[in-house]
Amino acid sequence: MLVEAVNWLPERNWSREQILANPELAHYVTGWPRPDDFGLVAVDAADRPVGAAWCRYLTAADPGYGYVSDDVPELTIGVVETWRGRGVGRALLRAALDAAREHGVPTVSLSVERANFAARLYAAEGFRTVESFEDADTMVAELGTGLAPASTGS
């Protein structure tokens, strides 16, 4: 699904080999899964993958495009072209954020090219821009832990 994420623009058609040969892209999946990686896959009625969302911790020594700090995982989402615009991305995003909360992750980051329609989705789902570049933004979502506050009793 990294190929789908990279090739969101119809005229961009990078091969799997090109993407995996590029260290700035390959580190999103190389050695999957590492102990702190987590993600999920969306499938169609025939159980074929149509999208995936995953979080991976990257470091300052090998940062991702959406890197903010070593303790904030970066979220990547890829959806098969024929399934885009049908709610798969939003469902994956929400499920990935729920999974992050379950893992006790308080903040998730991502990078999105401004022309990508997913940028509006991320903003609508609570992500805010923390850094802007020529054509892309780094965004974060503050998740909290999803745990209810402890009762003080009375």
CA dist list (Å): 115 to 23, 71, 119, 137, 139: 24, 28, 8, 10, 14
Q: What structural domains does the chain harbor?
A: 2-142 (3.40.630.30)
Residue 154 pLDDT level (bands cut at 50, 70, 90):
very low
pLDDT digits (tens, 9 = 90+) for 4-34: 999 998 889 999 999 999 999 999 999 999 9
Whole-angstrom distance, CA of residue 3 vs CA of residue 91: 19
Whole-structure pTM value: 0.90
Average of pLDDT values for 83-106? 97
Which tens digits make up the pLDDT trace of 61-92? Answer: 999 999 999 999 999 999 999 999 999 999 99
Please give the pLDDT value at position 4: 96
CB 54 within 8 A of CB 96: yes
Tokens (6 digits) for 35: 């102990």
Give CA 45 to chain center in angstroms: 24
Rounded average pLDDT over 112-125 = 96
Quick count: other Cβ atoms within 10 Å of Cβ 26? 13
